Structure 1
Amino acid sequence: MTASSPEIRTFLCRSDNIGVLIRDPATGACASIDVPEAGSVLKALEETGWTLTDILVTHRHLDHVEGIPEVKKRTGARVTAPRRAGAHVPEVDVAVVEGDRVRVGDLEAQVWETPGHCSDHVTYWFREAKIAFAGDTLFTLGCGRVLEGPPETLWHSLERFLALPDDTQVFSGHDYVLSNGRFALAADPDNQALQNRMTEAEAAKEAGRFLVPSTMRQERETNPFLRSTEPALAKAVNLPPNLPAQAIFIALRAWKNTF
């Protein structure tokens, strides 16, 4: 590990939330991506010996912010959250919008507004480290459920991830890998890379691990929602392959809702 490479710890919160700590070894600054529950985050801090300086909130939903008050009280961490979330996120110190920069020590992230799952959702893109904290927008083998706005809003958010380098690590907010994978296989059954990924996911589950983070290369190869440009996915939803990818995505997302 080089001096500029962040240290990362992932761990399970609640039943299926993914907790993440990212630390700058040069300065000792450390951020929690959301706080699904206080106990798991505080335990991870105790195990690592890291000192929490920041909390980076992806969106306002309770299962991502519920533990903030206790963790902030225990650590004094600065809370950064989407401005659009308003008072739904407790104890916010810094409200951010599209194009803002946030720092964790010497590590810098760009703020992307990535609505679709909900209107206030943001992603933190650490360009130099090639790490994206995608919250509930992009999952390993899947994407978030559309709760606010039309589904094309989520598609436009997902398109931004398609521009990222193949070796970008994507950290999602939940471990939905096996359920996402079952749908992906139904939609894209002849995809050998996807079949291999599911074998890996099942082995990880047996070993008590999860496939978070994923990489953009893996997601391009296996995630049906990001593969909405592919004829095989159009065929899966009985649509002609010359339709815009957005239309294929909307049909896939509607199917997933009933899966």
Structure 2
Amino acid sequence: MTLEVETVPCLADNYAFLVHDRKTGATALFDAPEAWPIQRELEKQNWQLTHIFITHHHGDHIDGVGELVAAFHPEVIGAARDAHRLPPLDTAVEPGQIYDMWGREVHVMEASGHTVGHVAYYLPRAGAVFTGDSLMALGCGRLFEGTPAQMWQTLSGLAALPDDTLVCSGHEYTTANGRFAATIEPDNAALARRNDETARARAMNVPTVPSALALEKATNPFLRAALPEVKAGLGMADAADVDVFAHIRAAKDKF
């Protein structure tokens, strides 16, 4: 594997991600909450930033872009439909498009729900998907702009990726998300184990992101809304999948 993925903690609870290709020298950044931790990691690794990929327009994902562009002059890539509220883009992309990053495929995926215009980026050769605030560790983003149907479509598309895909999401929310998840599936043994592992990791200040997609499918209530046992536990055995998802999302908003 010539692609390295580095998790960079930023702000109070954000993550950015650097992907370095040892073969070509390309170094891509996925989201830029703030500049200095990313610059520090680049200097530590002796990497030159060549690309910045933006998932969505919120400040805690883009506020570092300008300073990084001034320092490294990378190509900036983001959603065409969101270009009016993103930093200046060099390349505007659409869901379904495959971007060529120096010979490496970056698949642009629909990820609306948290915002309208949110995208995710899947790198098959890295076995990683960069989801911003769509699919998160044990959670999903709050629906600030989109609808439950949009987010359910987003999550369903992400869940179809290979089970060993690393989900590189934007925040350290896993502890709180796990407490909520346990109210939806109190008898889920895999979830109980994950919550114990999360507590141990956070006690040592170890990030719980990224996470394996298989683990999300086994424990994340937002990905499990279509399962008969989840529906039955909520008293929604005959409900449509999207309605169960909407119920879980509304419950999380009040948790």
Number of residue equivalences: 255
Pairing partner for 1:165 from 156, 162, 165: 162
Pairing partner for 1:50 from 24, 37, 47: 47
For 2:124, the equivalent position in structure 1 comes to 127
Q: Do the aligned residues in 2 keep the contact of 1:30 with 1:105 (CA within 8 Å)?
A: no
For 1:11, the aligned partner's letter is V
For 1:256, the aligned partner's letter is K
Q: Structure 2: where are the runs of 5+ without partners?
A: none
With 227-236 and 37-46 compared, the bigger mean Cα shift is at 227-236
For 2:138, the equivalent position in structure 1 comes to 141
CA distance in 2, matches of 1:136, 1:29: 25
For 2:123, the aligned partner's letter is F
Write the deviation string for residues 151-193 of structure 1: whole angstroms up to 9, x where unpaired. 1110111000121111111100111110110100111110000
Shift of residue 236 of structure 1? 4.2
For 1:134, the aligned partner's letter is T
Q: Structure 1: where are the runs of 5+ without partners?
A: none
CA distance in 1, matches of 2:201, 2:8: 14
For 1:91, the equivalent position in structure 2 comes to 88
CA distance in 1, matches of 2:89, 2:188: 44
Residues 146-225 of structure 1: matches in 2 within 5 Å?
Answer: 146-225=143-222
Instruction: Name the % identity.
Output: 38
For 2:239, the equivalent position in structure 1 comes to 243
> Alignment partner of 1:132: what SS?
strand
With 149-158 and 63-72 compared, the bigger mean Cα shift is at 149-158
- Coordinate RMSD, CA, aligned: 1.2
Write the deviation string for residues 26-60 of structure 1: whole angstroms up to 9, x where unpaired. 01100110110011111111111111000000011
Write the deviation string for residues 65-92 of structure 1: whole angstroms up to 9, x where unpaired. 1111110000001100111112311121
For 2:239, the aligned partner's letter is L
For 1:132, the aligned partner's letter is V
> Alignment partner of 2:89: what SS?
coil
> Alignment partner of 1:12: what SS?
strand
TM-score between the two structures when normalised by the length of structure 2? 0.96
TM-score between the two structures when normalised by the length of structure 1? 0.95
Q: Do the aligned residues in 2 keep the contact of 1:237 with 1:251 (CA within 8 Å)?
A: no
Q: Do the aligned residues in 2 keep the contact of 1:103 with 1:109 (CA within 8 Å)?
A: yes
Q: Do the aligned residues in 2 keep the contact of 1:237 with 1:252 (CA within 8 Å)?
A: no
For 2:253, the equivalent position in structure 1 comes to 257
